[in-house]
Amino acid sequence: SEDTFTEGAKRADVFACILILFSKLECLHYGSSDWDQPLFQIPATISSSTLLELHVILETFTDCLYLLDGRFNSLQKLFVDVCRIVSPRIIIDNQKQIPNLKHFLLYSERDTDKYNELIVPLVYRMTNLEELNLHLVVYCEKRSIDGYDLKRNIISHLLQLNKFVFNIRSRLPLNDQAYVSSNEDCQRSFNGFKNNKIISCIDYFPDRKEGQCHIYSYPYPAKYYEYITNNFPDGLFKYVREVSL
């Protein structure tokens, strides 16, 4: 709505003003955890050469790319909660290396089919990343995300990575093109992972012609667990506030 757009623009202006007024700011937490609040978009002209750590809630993945296009080149820690991971409407550089970034968290509750198109190329750019945290819901066409995928697309490209935590739920259509694996196959794909424990849970729903693969490093500090089934393994979840079936 127009009111939502106006409020979002105001929040963007406040974000810009903070960086202008506090020209030597090194750490910033910005954005409401209440999803009823209008989200904002990063102003195209804003930048900071001093900001080292940023926690922010954004409307689209485009805003995340803006943050990492060189205008915040001193960032060492970036924690991003993104509402929608969709393709940008304009061309944004997603190839330039980001050597200063050491810690990256990407959190999104909504489904995306842009894992290979947007997320993986962005991670490739983080050549000196030491800690990575991914919380994603990914719509896959042929194969769910498992340990083989994470080794090939993430770990093998991040030579400095020493901590990788994740909570990824893949959705897969059941058709002739899809690879249907068992939970045992998925669990074997994590052989050799540095994490002490990786949990996988695979379910198939023939009536919906859909499969679901949920993988996460244990313990994972998630507050919400959605689409839990009878196959979900037990464990101690200290941070959970909400569960849906």
pLDDT digits (tens, 9 = 90+) for 225-244: 565 666 665 555 555 555 65
pLDDT in tens, 126-176: 999 999 999 999 999 888 999 999 999 999 999 999 999 999 999 998 887
Mean pLDDT of the chain: 82
Cα distances from 130 to residues 5, 109, 228, in angstroms, run: 37, 24, 31
Residue 33: pLDDT band (50, 70, 90) is low
Q: What's the confidence (pLDDT) of residue 188? A: 92
- How far, in Å, CA of 219 to CA of 206, rounded? 31
Q: For residues 185 and 183, what is the distance between their CA atoms, to the nearest angstrom? A: 5
Confidence of residue 37 (pLDDT cuts 50, 70, 90): very low
Q: What is the pLDDT of residues 198-234, one digit of tens each?
A: 988 888 888 888 888 999 888 766 666 565 666 665 5
DSSP 8-state symbol, 145: -
Among 92-96, 125-129, 175-179, which range has the highest average pLDDT?
125-129
Q: How confident is the model at residue 36 (pLDDT cuts 50, 70, 90)?
A: very low
How much is the average pLDDT of 184-200? 85
Closest CA to 214 of 112, 149, 109, 138: 138
Helix (H) or strand (E) holding 214: strand 210-217
Name residues whose C-beta falls within 8 Å of residue 21's C-beta, 6 or more positions apart in sequence. none
Highest-pLDDT range among 55-59, 167-171, 174-178, 190-194: 167-171
What would the mean pLDDT of 114-123 be, rounded to a whole number?
Answer: 95
If you average pLDDT over residues 49-76, what whole number do you get?
A: 90
pLDDT tier, 2 (very low <50, low <70, confident <90, very high otherwise): very low
Question: Range with the lowest mean pLDDT among 2-6, 115-119, 122-126, 147-151?
Answer: 2-6
The CA radius of gyration of the chain, in Å to the nearest whole number, is: 19
- Using alpha carbons, list the distances in angstroms from residue 244 to 4, 24, 73, 176, 223: 28, 43, 40, 30, 12
Asked if 94 contacts 114 with a C-beta cutoff of 8 angstroms, the reply is no
Provide the whole-model pTM: 0.85
